[in-house]
Structure 1
Amino acid sequence: MNVRRARGAAARVSGRRGEVLAALWLMLKGYRILGFRLKTPLAEIDLLAKRGPVLAVVEVKRRADLRAALEAVGFDQRDRLRRAASTLAAKRPALSGASVRLDLLALAPGRLPMHIPDAWKGD
């Protein structure tokens, strides 16, 4: 196996571990996890979670700091994620009427996970 392939495999394993940690963190905060790595024609949703009337599309990023995690998700990706979640909600009767929100769950070495609800509400 070449170095590049090994690095990619390690990144995928790390990403999956991060998503599991993020899901556990959200469940401790009262969220119900509806899906992991949901592939849609528009985007892949890391985590789909619900608490009350809010349907949270949670982007999980492992970075050195919060600012780097926020910047890692560009405007186009955020737009695709919001549209993907709205499409999913429209197809599931139990989610009709839910308010769709885009959250960030940032993971940094040696720190507790940081959940930022509606992380990019300004755009």
Structure 2
Amino acid sequence: MRDRQKAERAGRVGETAAAWWLRLKGWRILARRVRTPAGEVDLIAKRGNLVAFVEVKRRKTGEELDFAIDHFRLTRVAKAAESLAHRYLEPGDDMRVDVILIAPGRALRHIENAWIG
């Protein structure tokens, strides 16, 4: 149980770092940790007429980041994004699924439009 709590805490730290990074890039954070029956979206951000549903992965090493995201996880986020779109998109808005990868000592990596489904 202790490891699970540590992982949860580390995930929240990663999400906070990702949210600040997005803000610095001109994004407005609309929501954090939104749960749906299809899955969870870590961050929902908007810049201009683009809404990004963002999956954040934080790992202990950069090497672990290579295995942090896969088709299954992206599919889950995409399904959750589809179910949430009506709440966050305005007429004329576009949406996409992004991934932010974080590891200590490494530059944050933002993968735009990670889901093409």
Per the normalisation by structure 1, the TM-score is 0.81
- Stretches of 4+ moved more than 6 A in 1? none
69-78 vs 52-61, greater mean Cα deviation:
69-78
State the 1:111 CA deviation.
2.0
Residue 44 (1) aligns with residue 62 (2): no
Select which of 8, 11, 20 maps to 1:24.
Answer: 20
Partners of 2:87 and 2:31 in 1: CA distance: 14
Partners of 2:66 and 2:79 in 1: CA distance: 19
Partners of 1:105 and 1:119 in 2: CA distance: 10
Residue 116 (1) aligns with residue 92 (2): no
Computing the radius of gyration from Cα coordinates, the structure with the larger value is 1
Q: Percent identity?
A: 42
Select which of 7, 10, 13 maps to 1:14.
Answer: 10
Partners of 1:96 and 1:81 in 2: CA distance: 22
Partners of 2:94 and 2:76 in 1: CA distance: 16
Partners of 1:84 and 1:70 in 2: CA distance: 23
State the 1:70 CA deviation.
5.3
Computed over aligned residues only, the root mean square deviation of the Cα atoms, in angstroms, reads 2.0
The number of residue pairs the alignment matches comes to 116
Asked whether the equivalents of residues 45 and 59 of structure 1 are also in contact (C-alpha less than 8 Å), the reply is: yes
* Structure 1 segments unaligned to the other structure (5+ residues): none
* Structure 2 segments unaligned to the other structure (5+ residues): none
Give the 3 Å change call, closer, same or farther, for CA 72–101 of structure 1 in structure 2: same
